[in-house]
Structure 1
């Protein structure tokens, strides 16, 4: 399990994160206005696997991370379409 710390928060605009346990990784999330009522979300994630097993499994881990980013982006889009709070179910 990975645990991350969030820092450099610009409310409503961006934040950065870095793992404090688990896989060595960091990233950012940034919302960029792109016209009236529109925005683009830029996700950046860097993972640095260590050890022989993690290095061998790197392609599988990369695919899993991409899937997680797609899922997270979909959840964000759902949240933006509603005024109702949405309970997180992936604890």
Structure 2
């Protein structure tokens, strides 16, 4: 279990940092609010997942598959995480 969490951390370090930075930049241009940040994060995280892991580092899915994390699971987790952050920021 701990090994899978550390593998997920490796996966999301490459996604979360650019997604947060891009969301903050877009949010500041739209007028900063928590709701705007959540909406931008909802849009940027899946887009960055697609750009980074589907186009640029396509073969890294094999690395994650060796640890029992399928492509479908990673996509579902990415979309769930972006929806969760968006839902949390809507109530702030």
User: TM-score scaled by structure 1?
Assistant: 0.45
Q: Which structure carries more helix by proportion?
A: 2
Which structure ranks higher in relative contact order (CA pairs < 8 Å, sequence separation ≥ 6)?
2
Structure (1 or 2) with the greater strand fraction: 1
Normalising by structure 2, report the TM-score.
Answer: 0.45
Structure having the higher Rg: 1
